């Protein structure tokens, strides 16, 4: 197992303080605030550990305050409903005596039923795309130092963008690119054979690149210094079983941006075309004021 994946599993392996109270830590990756996907994944882990015989099928979350990576995060779970088929949990993440994140999650027993899905977009397979070394060479020179330091280290999630040109400089006056982005994702090492772990790993990864899609028509990126970006809310629906350590296509689009907020949604497919999850998110995409 890759060292970064071992660290991811350790990050998701919360310490139980009490029946419905858990504590999580942040890895030392040099960020000034906690990565939003980490809080989503840890909150889902906390909720999962209070539910038996049911699988998560949806979560809805709000980011309230930036997380401090230097101190632990306490997760308080409220078991607000346990029915015959469904269970509902509310989770609040706390630091420095204040709520920094809140989430509701729903769980269901396995059931058979009607089945249909949207078709997967026709895009190149991950092995037909540039390798990570080539992507680093072309993209990292444009990143700010903090983002570059993160991408230079070993990471738990491998990304292979289909539209790599989205990050490259474009000629003045060029037609805006459409607000669509496709990226293949998977963990960089094998995960245990437990669906809840794969669900939580995907929850972690689902916060990656989604907000950035809303900046594509404007020729900007979350890696640019003039953009202040932050996730505001996040929703995830889990449709079918999958493995997060196998390639998944994250197909993203942004129908709207306004009021310094960008709205994006995504569909996640296995490489054989099964739709396994859907995501929606709104985030802050504020232009920083120039100093002086």
DSSP states along 92-159 = EEEETTEEEEEEEEEEE---------PPPP----GGGS--HHHHHHHHGGGS-HHHHHHHHS--SEEE
The DSSP line for 151-206 is HHS--SEEEEES-GGGGS---TTPPPPPSEEEEEEEESS---S-HHHHHHHHHHHT
pLDDT the model gives residue 291 = 46
* CA 131 – CA 285 distance, rounded (Å): 29
pLDDT the model gives residue 84 = 95
Of the listed 206, 214, 231, 254, which one is catalytic?
231
Q: What Cα–Cα distance (Å) separates residue 250 from each residue in 75, 149, 217, 221, 266?
A: 28, 24, 19, 18, 6
pLDDT the model gives residue 165 = 79
Which DSSP letter does residue 261 get? E
Instruction: Give the β-pairing of 227-238 and 180-187.
Output: unpaired
Q: Which two tokens stand for residue 261?
A: 């907020």
Of the listed 26, 38, 104, 207, which one is catalytic?
207
pLDDT in tens, the chain (292 residues): 588 999 999 999 999 999 999 999 998 766 678 999 999 999 999 999 999 999 999 999 999 999 999 999 999 999 999 999 999 999 999 999 999 999 999 999 999 999 999 999 999 999 999 877 777 777 777 666 666 666 677 789 999 999 987 877 666 677 888 999 999 999 999 999 999 999 999 999 999 999 999 999 998 888 777 888 999 999 999 999 999 999 999 999 999 999 999 999 999 999 999 999 999 999 999 988 754 4
Which DSSP letter does residue 17 get? E
Of the listed 38, 42, 267, 281, which one is catalytic?
281
Active site residue 281: yes
Give ∠ CA 80-81-87 in degrees, rounded to 5.
120
Q: Which two tokens stand for residue 58?
A: 């949806």
For residue 109, count other CB atoms closer than 10 A to its CB.
12
Q: What is the three-class DSSP state of 258? A: strand
pLDDT the model gives residue 225 = 75
Specify the pTM: 0.92
* CA 112 – CA 91 distance, rounded (Å): 29
Active site residue 108: no
pLDDT the model gives residue 292 = 41
Active site residue 207: yes
Cα dihedral 254, 244, 222, 14, rounded to 10, equals 120
pLDDT the model gives residue 151 = 66
């Amino acid at each position: 197992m890759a060292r970064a994946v071992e660290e991811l599993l350790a990050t998701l392996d919360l310490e139980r303080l009490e029946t419905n109270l858990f504590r999580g830590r942040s890895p030392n990756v040099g960020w000034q605030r906690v990565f939003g996907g980490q809080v989503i994944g840890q909150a889902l882990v906390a909720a999962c550990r209070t539910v038996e015989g049911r699988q998560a099928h949806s979560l809805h979350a709000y980011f309230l305050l930036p997380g401090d990576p230097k101190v632990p995060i306490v997760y308080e779970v409220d078991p607000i409903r346990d029915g015959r088929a469904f269970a509902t949990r509310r989770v609040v993440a706390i630091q420095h005596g204040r709520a920094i994140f809140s989430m509701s999650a729903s769980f269901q027993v396995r059931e058979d039923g009607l089945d249909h899905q949207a078709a997967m977009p026709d895009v190149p397979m991950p092995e037909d795309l540039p390798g990570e070394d080539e992507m680093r060479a072309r993209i990292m020179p444009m990143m700010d130092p903090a983002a570059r330091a993160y991408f230079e280290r070993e990471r738990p999630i491998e990304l292979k963008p289909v539209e790599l040109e989205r990050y490259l400089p474009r000629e003045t006056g060029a037609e805006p690119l459409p607000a669509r982005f496709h990226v293949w994702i998977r963990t960089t090492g094998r995960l245990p054979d437990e669906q809840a772990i794969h669900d939580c790993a995907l929850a972690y990864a689902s916060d990656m690149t989604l907000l950035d899609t809303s900046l594509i028509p404007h020729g900007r990126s979350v890696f640019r210094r003039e953009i202040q970006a932050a996730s505001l809310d996040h929703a995830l629906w889990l449709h079918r079983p999958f493995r997060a350590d196998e390639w998944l296509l994250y197909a993203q689009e942004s129908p709207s941006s306004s009021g310094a907020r960008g709205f994006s949604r995504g569909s996640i497919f296995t490489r054989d075309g099964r739709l396994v999850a859907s995501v929606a998110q709104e985030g802050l995409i504020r232009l920083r004021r120039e100093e002086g």
